[in-house]
Amino acid sequence: MNALWWWIEVHTGTVNEPGPYYGFFSGFGSDIGELAILGGMIAFYRSHNCHEPRCWRFGHIMADGHTRSCWKHHPDGKRRPGHVMRSHIRYLNRTGGGGDA
């Protein structure tokens, strides 16, 4: 059991260093920050990608305000100039939102 514990201490950098846990934070422990950055990037991607299953593209919020859709899976196809205004007018007409849009 002592051999196993010694192996863990040596490979994590917690022994044979000038200060307590110096080797850990300058070696093995520095990966904790990298894992946090990677986790944040994955969380950002998963919250901003298209609503279609297995679609890797970033999506834009649609008129309903809940789903995201990329240009390939958007119901109206690729967006062109004036697309947002036309979509907004259709949404207002569909929901009875009124206004002078």
- CA distances for 27 relative to 7, 18, 20, 38, 71, angstroms: 15, 14, 13, 18, 44
> What pLDDT is recorded for position 39?
94
Average pLDDT over residues 38-60: 89
Residue ranges covered by each domain of the chain: 12-48, 50-101
Q: What percent of the chain shows pLDDT beyond 90? A: 11
Flag whether pLDDT at 98 surpasses 70: no
pLDDT per residue as tens digits for the range 24-43: 777 778 888 889 999 999 99
Banded model confidence at residue 20, pLDDT cuts 50, 70, 90: low
